[in-house]
């Protein structure tokens, strides 16, 4: 605990699920956190939490992010959490849907990193964390063509940022989970014909016998944001209960 004392972090997709878990863990580690999400209603649950400033913002909007970066000033850590799961194999995916997945899953990491990286470079340090997935260049799963393709691109993005800015004190690492029990995961499960069976199937994908939790992912994010990981950059950290082993 207190590994992020005196640090400022921006967390996108902060209103629920993994991002919410990251906000809570970063605050517990002593950080001042800007919690950013499109969903102002859900985000308002974090209003008044000590150490948290909420900012309703569409992370595809570069101008809104530039304004936010002016408000935050230089930050120490950026958690790029925004992502969306498109369901479908290639023949159920349109070119427009593929574009939309790239815009949301890759474009938001690009836009937020572009907004906050200059301040980090000025300060000579910073940790950028991206959300990939084991559904990427790591493993193929059925019906995730657009999602996995965009999450593979996030790995390329992460490694490129790491390579370009390592010598100037910036680290960039990707987190690649398997199934994590979040509101959007629950919605996908509830949309299936037999949700109870689907939940059991998702749990059994992991040899440990359960889905991950936002807290599991947040613990790794805190490590990657902290100086404990100062020799780690350009890495893709798989956290999947053994699913891809
Ligand atoms: N849940 C999983 O099983 C899992 C597994 C691997 C990777 N991931 C990745 O982790 C990340 C978080 O997943 P989750 O399941 O917690 O997500 P979630 O869908 O439960 O929450 C996503 C949040 O992002 C916000 N958001 C969406 N578009 C936005 C935008 N344009 N600007 C700002 N905020 C926006 C939503 O309002 C929501 O609060 C995603 O990138 C996802 O792809 C999730």
pLDDT tens-digit map of 139-170: 999 999 999 999 999 999 999 999 999 999 99
Residue nearest to atom 10 of ligand 1 (CA): 131
Ligand 1 binding site (Cβ under 6 Å of any ligand atom):
12-13, 15-19, 37-39, 42, 58-60, 81-83, 108, 131, 133, 177, 179-180, 182-185
Measured from the Cα of 147, ligand 1's closest atom is: 43
Contact criterion met (CB below 8 Å) for 222 and 24: no
What is the tens place of the pLDDT at every residue in 211-224?
999 999 999 999 99
CA distances from 8 to 42, 123, 183, 184, 226 (A): 22, 12, 27, 27, 11
Model confidence at 1: pLDDT above 80? no
Give the chain's mean pLDDT.
97
- CATH 3.40.50.720 holds for 8-177+212-238: yes
pTM for this predicted structure: 0.98
Cα angle: 215, vertex 220, 223; to 5 degrees: 125
Beta-carbon contacts of residue 101 (< 8 Å; ≥ 6 apart): 84, 86, 146, 147, 149, 150
42 band by pLDDT with thresholds 50, 70 and 90: very high
CA 81 / ligand 1 centre spacing (Å): 6
Pairing of strands 170-177, 236-239: parallel
Residue nearest to atom 29 of ligand 1 (CA): 38
Catalytic-residue membership of 147: yes
CA atoms within 13 A on the CB side of 157: 26
Catalytic annotation, pick one of 147, 157, 165, 202: 147
DSSP string, 102-117: HHHHTHHHHHHHHHHH
- Best residue among 17, 54, 63 to mutate for probing ligand 1's pocket (most ligand atoms within 8 Å of CB) is 17
3-class secondary structure, 206: coil
**Eight-class DSSP state of 199:** H
Among 40, 29, 32, CA closest to 11: 32
């Amino acid at each position: 605990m207190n590994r992020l004392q005196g640090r400022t972090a921006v967390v996108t997709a902060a209103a629920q699920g993994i991002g919410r878990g990251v906000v809570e863990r970063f605050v517990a580690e002593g950080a001042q956190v800007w919690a950013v999400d499109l969903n102002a209603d859900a985000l308002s649950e974090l209003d008044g939490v000590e150490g948290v400033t909420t900012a309703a913002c569409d992370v595809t909007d570069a101008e809104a992010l530039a304004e936010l970066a002016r408000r935050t000033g230089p930050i120490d850590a950026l958690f790029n959490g925004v992502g969306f799961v498109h369901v479908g194999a290639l023949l159920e995916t349109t070119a427009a849907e593929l574009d939309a997945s790239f815009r949301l899953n890759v474009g938001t990491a690009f836009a937020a990193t572009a907004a906050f990286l200059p301040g980090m470079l000025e300060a000579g340090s910073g940790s950028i964390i991206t959300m990939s997935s084991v559904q990427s260049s790591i493993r193929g799963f059925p019906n995730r063509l657009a999602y996995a393709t965009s999450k593979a691109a996030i790995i390329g993005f992460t490694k490129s940022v790491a390579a370009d800015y390592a010598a100037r004190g910036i680290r960039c690492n990707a987190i690649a989970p398997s199934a994590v029990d979040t509101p959007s995961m629950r919605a996908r499960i509830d949309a299936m014909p037999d949700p109870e069976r689907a939940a059991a199937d998702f749990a059994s994908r992991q040899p440990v016998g359960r889905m991950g939790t936002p807290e599991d992912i947040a613990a790794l994010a805190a490590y990657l944001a902290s100086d404990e990981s100062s020799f780690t950059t350009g890495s893709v950290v798989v956290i999947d209960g053994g699913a891809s082993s």
